[in-house]
Chains A and B, each alone.
Chain A
Amino acid sequence: MKSIHLLFLSIMLLGIISCTSQSNEQTFDSSKLPKASEAEIEKLVEDFIMVEDGGTILVKPLFYDVKTQLILDNKKNIKIQGAGMEQSVISFRNLKTGGEGVKIVGENILIENLSIEDAPGDGIKAQHTDGITFRKINVTWTHGDKSKNGTYAIYPVQCKNVLIDGCIASHSKDAGIYVGQSENIIVKNSLAFGNVAGIEIENCDNAEVFDNVARDNAGGILVFNLPGLPKADGKGTKIYNNEVIDNNHENFATPLGDGPNGNTVTMIPPGSGIVLLAAKEVEIFNNKILRNKTTGLAIASYQITGFPSEAPNWSPYTHDIYVHDNTYERTLKIPDLTRELGQMISVYNAHGKAKTQDIVYDGIWDTNLSSDIESNPMKICIQEAGMDELHFTRFYLMDGEDNIQSFKDYKPFQGCQISISTDVSGLASL
């Protein structure tokens, strides 16, 4: 298949007048907190280094201006406890070296009741950890200029048994809550706002994302599988009972005016509610998907990025998707024109130029499975109430950008049901 690259000069001009929102909202003002002394800061750094298995690291109700990384290394049964999100704040604004503010490796680790601010790379990263709980932590950036913000706020990667509960992640240049290359995952009761991506599940198995609010991001909730990673592919995600609303923030993953780079998130068109990319076995139900100006839900295969789509043990296709019982609300805002995917939706959707969509499907299928898409070879099942009222577009992109077509007909994707199984009961003990 030809790579799909859309370049519309006239639309680029329109892009200038389209309105994307920008947020610098903070849930509280940490500058009013008492400052930790040099000795108290050094004590905290030392506690991370010297704590023994089964120990607790207490973070006092102070503002910690930490100039080095806080690293917990290969410890078991550790609690890192603050006095509350708005009381115990660790700032990495003056960190001069290192990829993340807090780094955790170990087994059965809990971090709760504190805030992490202004890390130059990632806020808090947990790697190779079996049993990691983030509870009531707030990770954010307070710069006015968001181009300086870090990549991920809450970042478990290559972990097992991940619980993210009651957290807030805001203003990250990539995903606020990003779970990568992990298995057995719960993300619940959390709030993600002002990020490029609110919550992202990438190359993961067995994840449930529920009772969260993803608002005012460029994209609300993302399920991706990217090529060339040690955990080659992922499957089994349930997304339910979430509010995915007003995700119309500008995409600041690259500087304003610059196009996307090789980071896939830079391509996300502002105004995207839920985005599936090379996703497998995903069930999306009972969510409120409201006022996302480009599309409520996008179902896409990796080919749409235009990047090479071959890697070992990985498939670029999105398949086995079950979407049902969600609530949608469109806006009168003009869909995104700053990103190619936004332009495609704005111009080529099946309901008229510049109309917000509820569900778009890129219609890229594996021709080894079927010669046409009418047989629904990728098993995309959509059972929403009042489908006639929704803006559904299925694109035809198999000939590349010279012959883009779109269709309203949702019937090939109805009357089916996919059983998606996840089991996160093992996380109850965390």
Chain B
Amino acid sequence: MMINFRNITFLVASFSFLISCENKKDSQNPELPAQTETELADGNFPYRNLSTYGFFGGEIKKLRPNPSLIPYQPASSLFTDYALKSRFIQLPEKEQASIEYDSLLLPKGTILIKNFYYPADLSIPEENIRIIETRLLIHGETGWEAFPYIWNDDQNEAVLKVVGGEKEVKFKNLQGEDQVVNYLIPNKNQCKTCHNQSEQLAPIGIKIKHLNNDFDFTNGRQNQLAYWTEKGRLKGFLGKEHHPHLINYEDTSQALADRAMAYLDINCSHCHQANGPASTSGLFLEYDQVEPLKLGIMKTPVAAGNGAGAFDYDIVPGKADESILTYRMNSTEVGIAMPELGRTIVHQEGVALIKKWINSLEK
């Protein structure tokens, strides 16, 4: 009896082992198309699939926002290898954002949605679009967290990939030249290289100074913060002139110095400021920086290494070609190139703007 019993348990055990192996194999099958996996929208973020959030109605790749999303656009845009971006904010139902002093406070549960895409031809930005990644910034109980979703080639789903990735992208630039970019999707923690305020993850574009300007909403052009207020989603907005507002550096009707500072602010100051990761350098590039040394004027580098090139100072007034700032903006070599992430090619227009500005500074 004893022996028989043992045999039976052994059989049962080995049988269940076989089953569990099979199960395991199935759940790890990488060939399984993402869209056939049903994922429950149970409110436990992050979801594995972007579609589970239900941000976009109809065909997901059209990025048609459902009514709970508000599109937004900062006055100036952070350059990311010429990728175009569409951005949305979802505030939790019945809750409001608020302005207190100089800060835009967003309630827990807020989600920022940023889609990075390339049209086949940058001069026809609405056509032949390929979406590469969607980054979510979710304001959870313990603060903001970043989640990168990578789109599949069929463009019908994007899947969370915390380790990031790499995609080859081809497009025609505004000069009509063919470009190939080895687009790098940052890993989850690399997001914080830029999205960092005193070592807490923080949004970049969602600030008063960036949003206090007009945007083309579907029902007309309007100041973004005024629009939020009108929809009952923001309190504390006193009108455009009562809050800081940046210009678009691309707006050539603006003063050169203002355009340059707007460019440096959106592209550099998230790191290069007293509460940013590049505070180590003592180079602070916010739009309202007035101290010459902090702005880099005749300032020697600290830990620039190869980034210094053959040069002594971050900015030499009147001499853009002898300034470390433009040298690093004009390089694609890792270790030299600035910003450190999101720039595997040179932003020609940005370099031209900053060079023009440095050359205009009095020697």
Contact = CB atoms under 8 A, between A and B. Distances in A.
Contact of A230 (B163, B166, B280): B280
Contacts of A42: 163
Contacts of A103: 189, 193
Given A68-B164, A229-B302, A307 B312 contact: yes
B305 to A, nearest CB: 3
Secondary structure of the A contact surface, majority rule: loop
A82 interface: no
B235 to A, nearest CB: 31
Interface of B: 162-164, 166, 182, 184, 186-190, 192-193, 199-200, 274, 277, 279-282, 293-294, 298-306, 308-313, 324, 333-335, 340-342, 344
A254 B310 contact: yes
Contacts of B335: 99, 120-121, 150-151
Interface stretch (A44-52, A287-295, A415-423): A44-52
Interface in A32-70: 42, 45-46, 48-50, 67-69
Contacts of A228: 282, 293-294, 299-300
B294, B302, B308: most-surrounded residue (chain A CB, <10 A):
B302
A173 interface: yes
Contacts of A181: 280
Contact of B300 (A48, A128, A157, A264): A264
Nearest 8 CB-CB pairings of A with B:
A151-B305, A71-B189, A262-B312, A120-B335, A262-B300, A120-B334, A228-B282, A45-B163
A99 B303 CA distance: 11
Given A73-B189, A121-B334, A181-B280, A49 B163 contact: yes
A73 B310 CA distance: 34
Nearest to B189: A71
Given A229-B302, A230-B282, A98 B192 contact: no
Interface of A: 42, 45-46, 48-50, 67-69, 71-74, 95-99, 103, 105, 120-122, 127-128, 150-152, 155, 157-158, 173-174, 178, 180-181, 226-230, 253-254, 258-259, 261-264, 266, 305, 307-308, 311
B274 A71 contact: no
A308 B293 CA distance: 10
Given A151-B303, A158-B280, A230-B274, A263 B192 contact: no
B237 to A, nearest CB: 32
Contact of B282 (A69, A150, A229, A259): A229
Contacts of A50: 162
A71 B312 CA distance: 31
B344 A99 contact: no
A259 B310 CA distance: 8
B157 to A, nearest CB: 20
A36 to B, nearest CB: 14
Contacts of A99: 193, 335, 340
A68 to B, nearest CB: 5
Given A49-B163, A229-B280, A262 B189 contact: no
B162 A97 contact: no
Contacts of A45: 163-164, 187
A261 B305 contact: no
